[in-house]
Structure 1
Amino acid sequence: MSFENVTRYFQQWNREADIMEFETSSATVGEAAETIGVIPARIAKTLSFSGTEGQAILVVAAGDTKIDNKKFRHFFGFKARMLASDEVLLQTGHQIGGVCPFGLARELDVYLDISLKRFETVFPACGSSNSAIELTISELFQFSQAKEWIDVCKGWEETGIQKEQALHSYE
């Protein structure tokens, strides 16, 4: 049902036909990058965390990043704790491997990490372990109904793209 929910979600922008379905798995960053034919960093992975009062929060980040626990705690005011797989399904309506910020089962706060701003387009999943859509950074912000751009990831600054450039691009 998750893939169908995302497809219906994209109908409001007439973008449902842009969703790609693959014969092979795109459940992990590596599999998605190989299947689509892009570098792993351009895969927009959606990470789900326990928020306040039992409500999950989603952070969408570049595929080559890791959560920086210190930055996360500083921004959100609590420790980063990823949801268990059953919690992910309950909160988002998507199985791990297809989690995305679209067509959610509940209204959740979505944040985009600045690591994504290095790219004109990125590829988030679409509710299944063999789907994706190519979106511009501004489309990702709009379609995910993101609250804001945040800086809670590490590991991507070493790739040669200046963090300062990412902070000020695609605003």
Structure 2
Amino acid sequence: MGIAEVRAFFAQRGMEDQVLEFPVSSATVNLAAEALGVAPARIAKSLSFKAEEGCILVVAAGDARVDNPAFRSQFQTKARMLSPEEVLGKTGHAVGGVCPFALQRGVKVYLDVSLKRFDRVYPACGSANSAIALTPQELYRISDAEDWVDVCKGWRQEEESGEGMKGERA
């Protein structure tokens, strides 16, 4: 899989012209943010975890980190990330281009609530130099996500300041 399969995926939805490709790498949150000219928090990073069958893909905001106890509570398993080889084999996408589109069978997609604070987020599109701009609800629908989950930390303002306020839009 890769950018060609993701483009075909979006072509079936009449959205192929919305896939962006860059002359520079967008393989990390910071590189993607720089290529797009947006705050790193707006990058919708796809995190691949081991599951009994296939894998669990959690798409979260670029400034969010997995909260291990919350992950265990949600999925009844320890948060164990896949190796780069396992990521390619189980998702069909290589690290740096993993996205919730055109996936191998057995991959369950979940969106973290850290994405909901933005009007637009930017997931990769199957290569280390691609992305697409989507609303969180479009991402939910198009990715055929199983559900919204709350398994990340570090993105809420109250976690940093102790003030109890929701994080601001970037």
TM-score (structure 1 length as normaliser): 0.91
| CA shift in 2, pair 1:161/1:22, >3 Å | farther
| Consecutive unaligned residues in structure 1, runs of 5 or more | 166-171
Instruction: Give 1:106 shift.
Output: 2.2
| Consecutive unaligned residues in structure 2, runs of 5 or more | 159-163
Instruction: Give 1:57 shift.
Output: 0.7
Cα distance in 2, alignment partners of residues 87 and 12 from structure 1: 28
Cα distance in 2, alignment partners of residues 161 and 110 from structure 1: 28
TM-score (structure 2 length as normaliser): 0.92
Give yes or no for contact 2:55–2:106 (8 Å, CA) kept in 1.
Answer: no
Cα distance in 2, alignment partners of residues 147 and 105 from structure 1: 15
Instruction: Give 1:108 shift.
Output: 1.3
| Count of matched residue pairs | 164
| CA shift in 2, pair 1:2/1:161, >3 Å | farther
Deviations 1:87-138 (A, max 9, x none): 0000111000000010112241100000000001100000000000000111
SS in 1 for 2:9: helix
Cα distance in 1, alignment partners of residues 115 and 166 from structure 2: 12
The answer to whether 1:29 aligns with 2:33 is no
Q: Which residue of the partner structure matches residue 169 of structure 1?
A: none
Q: Which residue of the partner structure matches residue 166 of structure 2?
A: 162
Cα distance in 2, alignment partners of residues 158 and 82 from structure 1: 26
Instruction: Give 1:11 shift.
Output: 1.2
The answer to whether 1:136 aligns with 2:123 is no
Q: Which residue of the partner structure matches residue 118 of structure 2?
A: 119
Cα distance in 1, alignment partners of residues 15 and 45 from structure 2: 20
Cα distance in 2, alignment partners of residues 51 and 115 from structure 1: 22
Give yes or no for contact 1:98–1:126 (8 Å, CA) kept in 2.
Answer: yes
Q: Which residue of the partner structure matches residue 150 of structure 1?
A: 149
| CA shift in 2, pair 1:118/1:16, >3 Å | same
Give yes or no for contact 1:118–1:161 (8 Å, CA) kept in 2.
Answer: no
Amino acid at match of 1:105: Q
Cα distance in 2, alignment partners of residues 12 and 6 from structure 1: 10
| CA shift in 2, pair 1:157/1:89, >3 Å | same
Cα distance in 2, alignment partners of residues 82 and 27 from structure 1: 17
Cα distance in 1, alignment partners of residues 104 and 116 from structure 2: 27
Cα distance in 2, alignment partners of residues 161 and 127 from structure 1: 35
Runs of 4+ with >2 A deviation: none
| CA shift in 2, pair 1:80/1:91, >3 Å | same
